[in-house]
Structure 1
Amino acid sequence: MSDRLRRFGAFAAKFAAKALAGLAVPVGLAAAWFFCARWNWIPEQILPSPDAVWQTLRETTADGSLQSATLVSLQRVLSGFAVGIVAGVGVGGALGASATLRGYIEPFFLAFNQIPHIAWMPVLMLLFGIGETLKIVLIAWAAFLPATLCTLQGVRDVPAGYRELGRVLMFDRRATFSTIILPCALPSIFTGLREGLANAWHALVAVELLASFEGLGYMMAYGRQLFQLELVMAAMAVIALIGLIFHTLLRWVELRLSRWHLEGAA
């Protein structure tokens, strides 16, 4: 029992230290924001007070507009993200497994990755108009590129010795993939998923700012037009919170899958 208590105490202390370290910068920024608003160091028209942003969150939640905008944005980002990562992991895996295919196609992906997502919008508008298809395609493209490149890197960088071991043990393709390639590539794949998720939110906000009449991005544009910066910051806070939750969920899934592969290998 004493060993368990010591282990629990060590875990709790480590978790508390990590949590405090992670909260140091946000708490510092919040304190600076509070004092700037409290002592009028920055005009309220430029930097609304925390009370004004909190009041806006309460009002938009009470009338349902915040929930409605959040649901619309979530549907768009999840749909586009799902399409992008499924296609990206598949294409990246194929490129990583085939040196010939990689030699032909990888330079194009590296070049496309340098182009900002918003720059594709005029072309996509000509192809798809300004409806929902435009938004899903742009979000999917934003998630597709990092998912493809990171998966490619993860599969390509599997040590040759591991592959040779699989041949010595006479693994078929399925066993080689599940036992050797996937566990080695998993960290890189999830890096691509997290980058793809961040890019998906960036693309969502951009497309809703320019070509939408609903969603959190549109709420930000509406607040800017009316000089209601507290509405802009409220929408930003919701986006940041949802992004943090998704990032944490992806990290949790990655750790669970990594542990599962380690236990299976043992």
Structure 2
Amino acid sequence: MNRAESLPQTQPGVVWRSRLPGSSSLRGWLLPLTLLAVLESVVRIGWIPAYLMPAPSELAITLWELADGPLWTHILASTLRVLAGFAIGASLALILGSLVGLSRRLEAYLDPTFQALRAVPGLAWVPLLLIWLGIDESSKVTLIAIGSFFPVYLNLVAGVRNVDRKLVEVGELCKLSRLATIRRIFVPAAQPYLFTGLRAGLSMAWLCVVAAELLAATEGIGYLLTDGREVSRPDLVLVAIATLAVMGKLSDSLLKALETRALIWRDNYGGDKP
């Protein structure tokens, strides 16, 4: 048999993909770029009125104009509010979620109240917070903290409760102290759930900051949405929505990179190869 014939044959597509570093990440651009091209075409043809849905090229002009003006001020204001509210909400969720997850007695006292409060929509808190705290930053940060608390709390409690009982029994056999058991068994086992909750809580924080800024703010992305509505400029509204999408994606990507780095020890199924 010819030696060349005995070698395994490689599919051309595999070789082509291997020569394109980062090609899998580029696939994420395919859908939005296609949608933008289709939207540009239908608006230019006249199937959609331009005063209702501006063409993406017009939105790019609006974005360029805002970038020379107040856009960065709005982004900075919303980002600072999100970071402050998320830090407070996630910290409280980390403490209370750990205590409830480790103690059935505390769960009996606290969890029913938390589950009832979780069912209250975020907008329902706005009037009460405005009465209690006024229209300054404290009411906005409090609303964001409330919204980001529950995803982190629920996922952390689930992570603690899903720790393998055999691991806890091994810790008892090794005569580990309570603190050592938490540090060496519960913390690593619950980390995947924690990061899932943190990413969900961060997403909820961006939703809540828009709700807060829509009602009482003089700067922020939510204020930009309100301004576009009041002056009947859909291009401003769409630019604000796109800015929210980009900021949410960037913050989630940073948290996902931290998750990947912190959980590098895991040997789990990562999905089929692209």
Taking structure 2 as the reference length, the TM-score comes to 0.87
- Higher helix fraction (1 or 2): 1
1:59 positional shift: 0.6
Q: Which of 25, 29, 32 is the aligned partner of 2:35?
A: 29
Q: Which of 186, 191, 197 is the aligned partner of 2:191?
A: 186
Larger radius of gyration between Structure 1 and Structure 2 = 2
Tell me: CA distance 1:180–1:17, structure 2 relative to 1, closer, same or farther (3 Å). Answer: same
Distance 2:20 2:67 in 1: 37
Structure 2 residue 89 is matched with structure 1 residue 84: yes
Unaligned runs of 5+ in 1: 1-7
CA distances 1:180-222 after superposition (whole Å, capped 9, x unpaired): 1111111111111111111111110011011111111101100
> Is the Cα contact below 8 Å between 1:109 and 1:149 reproduced in 2?
no
> Is the Cα contact below 8 Å between 2:167 and 2:185 reproduced in 1?
yes
Aligned to 2:58: 52
Structure 2 residue 214 is matched with structure 1 residue 227: no
Distance 2:217 2:225 in 1: 11
SS in 2 for 1:259: coil
Letter in 1 for 2:58: A
Distance 1:173 1:33 in 2: 59
Q: Which of 227, 230, 253 is the aligned partner of 2:258?
A: 253
Distance 2:95 2:19 in 1: 40
Distance 1:59 1:79 in 2: 29
CA distances 1:39-80 after superposition (whole Å, capped 9, x unpaired): 1211112111111111111111112x0011111111111111
Distance 2:172 2:258 in 1: 30
Moved >6 Å (runs of 4+): 8-14
Aligned to 2:23: 16
Tell me: CA distance 1:229–1:85, structure 2 relative to 1, closer, same or farther (3 Å). Answer: same
Distance 2:79 2:25 in 1: 30
Distance 2:115 2:79 in 1: 29
Aligned to 1:217: 222
Distance 2:18 2:147 in 1: 38
Aligned to 2:45: 39
> Is the Cα contact below 8 Å between 1:166 and 1:176 reproduced in 2?
yes
Structure 2 residue 80 is matched with structure 1 residue 61: no
Taking structure 1 as the reference length, the TM-score comes to 0.89
Tell me: CA distance 1:133–1:43, structure 2 relative to 1, closer, same or farther (3 Å). Answer: same
